[in-house]
Amino acid sequence: MIEIGIIGGTGYTSGELIRLIIHHPKARINSVVSRSSPDKKIHCFHQDLLGEIDMKFTDSLKNKEIDVVFLCSGHGQSRKELKKISKHVKVIDLSQDFRIMNQSIFEGRNFIYGLPELQKNIIKKSNSIANPGCFATAILLAILPLAKKKLLKQHIHISAITGSTGSGKKMSETNQFSWRNNNISTYQIFKHQHIKEIKQTIQQVQDHFSSEIYFIPYRGNFSRGIIATLYTYSSFSLERNREIYKEYYKNHPFVEISDINIDLKQVVNTNKCILFLLKEKDQLIVISVIDNLIKGASGQAVQNMNLLFNLDETCGLKLKSVRF
């Protein structure tokens, strides 16, 4: 069994990660660290886990036999935590600290950008993974087939809306129920932090890409999920574009191409990304839906763990959507 350590145990992503690992047939939780709540029962913070786990949070990783550590602390905290982790232990970081290439080397570790649909074989040979951002995951999966064929010729326009869990548990005005309910707003227009990793990844695949990425994120009045819509120039027919996408994702079990319009509930509580393509005049439109907490965070982290340990990447991730 793979021995799991989790640091930063009280947030949404760690709650989902614990839930997934509890039911993973090849892994088990060794320690869950919360320095703000040591010795408190995990299910007191993640109440859906009542009856599933009876462990308490600890103030440090207790067992030296841990195989992999998931870092679920806030952005900027991972560098502090890494100094306490043995170089022999694999690390999957869910913050944004190591996603950008000029920040990816630290304490003798070279963090690999952990988007399996981009570089599955490289991930398998690594020991340090920078898990992608949630918006970046939804958007990149909608773009990668075009970049692979060097078909991105003009600017990319994106709008995407995320649920309130995308803001984390820390309270602010914009994630309170009274503010979110019956409400919607934009934020960080053209300046969202995920644009850097999106552009970096596109240029990794299509090295001469120099067009702009115009991204408008929205705060939604629902709990979880992301729906992203992007459009860009394409000289190909809709049918040819669909062929390109289906060919690219034929060996990637979590991405599906739909022939009919899609909605968010198809992916909530799953590690899936579903894409739907349209063509209007010379613009290709791609709609992408994911669960921000699973494919956009904890599920993708488990998918990366599976690859690191040469397991089937779907292991422990065959989840049912919450449709109704």
| 210 and 303 inside one domain | no
Supply the CATH number for residue 85's domain: 3.40.50.720
Tokens representing residue 46 in the block:
């993640």
Supply the CATH number for residue 272's domain: 3.30.360.10
- Fill in the amino acid letter for 115: L
| 266 and 300 inside one domain | no
Residues linked to residue 11 through DSSP beta bridges, in sequence order: none
For the cut 60, the answer to whether the pLDDT of residue 171 exceeds it is no
| 120 and 149 inside one domain | no
Tokens representing residue 45 in the block:
């913070």
In a domain, 49, yes or no: yes
Tokens representing residue 126 in the block:
């690594």
Q: What is the pLDDT of residues 184-194, one digit of tens each?
A: 999 999 998 99
| 122 and 191 inside one domain | no
| 128 and 138 inside one domain | no
In a domain, 99, yes or no: yes
The residue annotated as part of the active site, out of 44, 134, 273, 315, is 134
In a domain, 20, yes or no: yes
| 128 and 140 inside one domain | no
Is residue 266 within 8 A of residue 272, CB to CB? The reply is: yes
In a domain, 318, yes or no: no
In a domain, 8, yes or no: yes
| Average predicted confidence (pLDDT) for the chain | 93
| 212 and 257 inside one domain | yes
| 180 and 244 inside one domain | yes
d(CA 157, CA 189) in angstroms, rounded, equals: 12
| 140 and 249 inside one domain | yes
In a domain, 17, yes or no: yes
Is residue 244 within 8 A of residue 192, CB to CB? The reply is: no
| 141 and 272 inside one domain | yes
Q: What is the pLDDT of residues 1-39, one digit of tens each?
A: 999 999 998 888 999 999 999 999 999 999 999 988 888
CB count within 10 Å of CB 247 equals 12
Q: For the chain, how many structural domains are there in total?
A: 2
Q: What is the largest CA-CA distance in the chain?
A: 60
In a domain, 245, yes or no: yes
Q: What is the pLDDT of residues 36-67, one digit of tens each?
A: 888 899 998 899 999 999 899 998 887 678 99
d(CA 137, CA 299) in angstroms, rounded, equals: 12
Active-site annotation holds for 315:
no
| 191 and 285 inside one domain | yes
* % of the chain exceeding 90 in pLDDT: 78
| 37 and 95 inside one domain | yes
Is residue 164 within 8 A of residue 218, CB to CB? The reply is: no
Q: Are strands 2-7 and 68-71 parallel, antiparallel or unpaired?
A: parallel
* Residue 278 structural domain: 134-292
In a domain, 255, yes or no: yes
What is the value of pTM for the model shown?
0.94
pLDDT of residue 30: 94
